[in-house]
A and B are shown apart, each in its own frame.
Chain A
Amino acid sequence: MHMSTLLIALLTAVIIGVFLVRHLTAKPWLTVSQPDDIGPLQIPALKVGLWAFFACITSLFALFITAYLMRMDPNHASDWYTISKPGILWLNTGVLVISSLAMQWARNAEKSENIGGLKTALAVGGLFALAFLGGQLIAWQQLKNSSYFDIANPAVGFFYLLTAVHGLHLIGGMYVWGKTCFRTWRRTTIEKGRLSIELCTVYWHYLLLVWFILFGLLLST
């Protein structure tokens, strides 16, 4: 399991290295400007910021997952008892998929300037995200009331921990969704709105992907 940590670290290092090193051969003291050297990226700043944030939270989730796998290591996991996952998790997954689809619909509606569709899609997206969060709380209750509930069992501890961290990030996304809705209903410039909805959507898809991985992990162990 240390391997996965190493792999992630190496991967990160390689990605950064490759990106930068490819362009670090310029000799900047020469008078002619170097084609290899990098000027500002041709991407909006908010998008760069979001992707930097993705790198950050990918690191966070990767580390939680590594901790999970390391704790399950047979040397320590004498106290790990598989728990039955609350059934509602499947429903929640479906709800989150719909939420992502709705956000994608919103993005398409924005592109084709369909304001009515945009507003509906945003509303559906947010509503289903809230439904997901509510469903997660119900899942928490279900586990608490079940016979499997033993907080010292790391399977239980990780269940709450991983779902909580994912949920918190979704709540953060809801804040941006809220601002986007506000802007849409007030309708400022097209450019700003489009970027906001696009980034919201990408974030939603990212969290959906993270949820698939976490859910898969919880199911398989």
Chain B
Amino acid sequence: MPLAVVIILLVVATIIFHFASPWWFTPIASNWGAIDTTVNITIWVTGVVFIAVNLFLAYVIVKYRHKDDGRAHYEPENTKLEVWLTSITALGVAAMLAPGLFVWADFVNVPEDAAEVEVVGQQWRWSYRFPGADGVFGSTDIPNMSVDNPFGISPDDPAGQDDILVNDNTVHVPLNKPIKFLLRSKDVLHDFAVAEFRVKMDLVPGMVTYIWLTPTKTGTYDILCEELCGMAHYAMRGAVVVNEENEFDSWLSEQPTFAQTVARPVGDPVAGQAFFAVCAACHGPQGEGNLALNAPKTAGQEGWYIKKQINSFKSGFRGAHKDDIYGLQMAPMAAILVDENAIDNVIAYINTLPDNPPETSVTGDAARGEKLYTTCAACHGRQGQGIWSQDAPRLAGMTDWYLVQQLKNFKAGVRGDHASDFQGRQMALLSLMLKDEQAIHDIVAYINTL
């Protein structure tokens, strides 16, 4: 008897929960409203069955509970009833399946006039490519990939020259136009999923998969990777920005083509030396860093990373938070380097500086730090050497108190809080694993041994 009451209460509670819960699909921003409709049909059919079966169950439990003079009925089978139930079930199943298959047919057949954008996934970030004026993507190959050619585009393929490269986690797409996302992975399985778009698909290395959709609302939408791709799977974030057409066009025109990235002049260390005099005031004449002035060692750091950080300071990803004292100082410094060439020159000069191990000042339990470091090694390398393809800078042999400061900044949201700074946001998410200051000291103490 109480069991029947509980079952009825659970059914009622489930229904109430369904309607009262704040957790439902996010408002849709694409043309795939038909998916939502199919879901609703499924909810109705399954909901009716759930309620009917369980209410009948509750009724049966009450009515046929054991009574002293009671006796069960003996009926091995009732073919008519069973056939009837089977037919109704089959009808319900068909009612759910049919719309599902129709919508799937729409999904499988990409409209002829759909524009194309390629989404490149890797451990643990996104980048994008547009086909450019010729409308054709250049061929790519893994062996072609390097710091200077992260997309791996074949230099011999003419179709690739005008490909527009977006080496960033954010991509823009135009409103109200069907667009086919071609999905490519450099390493392992990933999944491109935007909740507001409803559709998603895995990225499979060795092949190109796709989804298509028509964005119907402007806005910025998070991309979440939804296929376990390693340790930082949860921190692989990006964004799709849906723009009106003119804004999209202007954004696209600001992105470099492959030919332009190849044609960029090599940095000139002599010219860079002149600029570096400014930096040396804090970072030291050999780029060795200076504790008193809170400037880290730059000599020996990966050039692409220094470039990225300078650009971060310039764009406000870094050095804009009110609590980021030293970052606030760096921002105007970075502004001195007015363009790409200037940055390249300075980096070319830094690359000539001697790489001497700095003094260590951080103390901690290196053995414990070693255990913690296994997570970091996935990006920064087992020797802390940095890995270009993971966008992870060198840690070993660099300034230890600076590492501590940055980890604290990430944890506190002082660094990596800018909505579009996905690399920073990723580090912020990863820094969550260091629960307290001791953990930070331990891990840096270990890095000092590398």
Verify if B206 is at the interface (C-beta below 8 Å from A): yes
Task: Say what secondary structure dominates the interface of chain B.
Answer: loop
Complex-state Cα separation, A179 to B207, whole angstroms = 51
Checking B76, B206, B207 against A27 with a beta-carbon cut-off of 8 angstroms, the contacting residue is B76
Q: What's the A-B contact tally at a CB cutoff of 8 Å? A: 5
How many residues of chain A are within 8 Å of chain B by beta carbon? Answer: 4
- Nearest A residue to B75 via CB reads A29
Whether A29 lies near B76 (C-beta < 8 A) is: yes
Size category, B interface: under 10
Q: Return A116 CB to nearest CB of chain B, in Å.
A: 61
Complex-state Cα separation, A18 to B206, whole angstroms = 42
Set of chain A residues within 8 Å of B207, measured between Cβ atoms: 75-76
Task: Say what secondary structure dominates the interface of chain A.
Answer: loop
Whether B76 lies near A76 (C-beta < 8 A) is: no
- Nearest A residue to B206 via CB reads A76
Complex-state Cα separation, A76 to B76, whole angstroms = 55
Complex-state Cα separation, A75 to B208, whole angstroms = 11
Complex-state Cα separation, A170 to B206, whole angstroms = 36
Complex-state Cα separation, A76 to B207, whole angstroms = 8
Set of chain B residues within 8 Å of A75, measured between Cβ atoms: 207
Set of chain B residues within 8 Å of A29, measured between Cβ atoms: 76
Complex-state Cα separation, A145 to B67, whole angstroms = 82
Complex-state Cα separation, A75 to B209, whole angstroms = 13
Set of chain B residues within 8 Å of A76, measured between Cβ atoms: 206-207
Complex-state Cα separation, A27 to B77, whole angstroms = 10
Complex-state Cα separation, A76 to B208, whole angstroms = 12
Set of chain A residues within 8 Å of B76, measured between Cβ atoms: 27, 29
- Nearest B residue to A75 via CB reads B207
Complex-state Cα separation, A76 to B204, whole angstroms = 12
Complex-state Cα separation, A214 to B250, whole angstroms = 60
Complex-state Cα separation, A76 to B206, whole angstroms = 8
- Nearest B residue to A29 via CB reads B76
Binary CB contact string for chain B from 194 to 224 against chain A (1 if under 8 A, 0 otherwise): 0000000000001100000000000000000
- Nearest A residue to B207 via CB reads A75
The 5 closest A-B pairs by CB, nearest first: A29-B76, A76-B206, A75-B207, A27-B76, A76-B207
**5 A–B contact pairs at CB < 8 A?**
A27-B76, A29-B76, A75-B207, A76-B206, A76-B207
